[in-house]
Amino acid sequence: MTRSSQLRRLHFLNALFAPLTGHDLYLAQQIDDAISSSLPEAETHAACGELVEPSDPSFAAAAARLFERLCAAQPAHGFFHWDASADDTGATPLFTRAGVMQGLKQLAAYPESTLLVTNLRAAHCPPTRRWTERRRREYDDTLVFIRDLAAARSRRNANLNLLFL
């Protein structure tokens, strides 16, 4: 794993676990080590002398499960994870709206909440394809659409953290 991808992953963990880490990258590194070592793929990668990539879907899912358990212990904080590449329709505006609205409805009861969107880039451009100008524009439009939808459909007095990975 490159140094920049490791730093990206640490910043993601720091943003996701901010209530726990207090924005301390050292604590984020400890969470990263714990998640990476708990993954079944970690043994395979360790034998080859490489680390699990931050964009690995299993890493994002493990981090989401850990954060969901943390939020379950705090009744005033809600959490919803939407994986855009869970099916082939995640990149379409209609299904993006449906997935995000499902999360926003679930989070409406909480004064503070986190909406985690993962694999949006992979939904717009699978790893076997190239990024074209059209795909990049559609991806940017989807990001703006999700931000605007979250702003319009969340309570004014609620604190909603919107994270993309």
Write down the pTM of the prediction: 0.74
User: Among 28, 65, 34, 162, which residue's Cα sits nearest to residue 107?
Assistant: 162
H/E run at residue 118: strand 112-118
Helix or strand or coil: residue 111? coil
Contact of 155 with 4, CB cutoff 8 Å? no
85-112: pLDDT as tens digits: 877 776 788 888 999 999 999 999 999 8
- Residue predicted with more confidence, 46 or 76: 76
- Each domain of the chain, given as residue ranges in start order, spans 1-54, 74-165
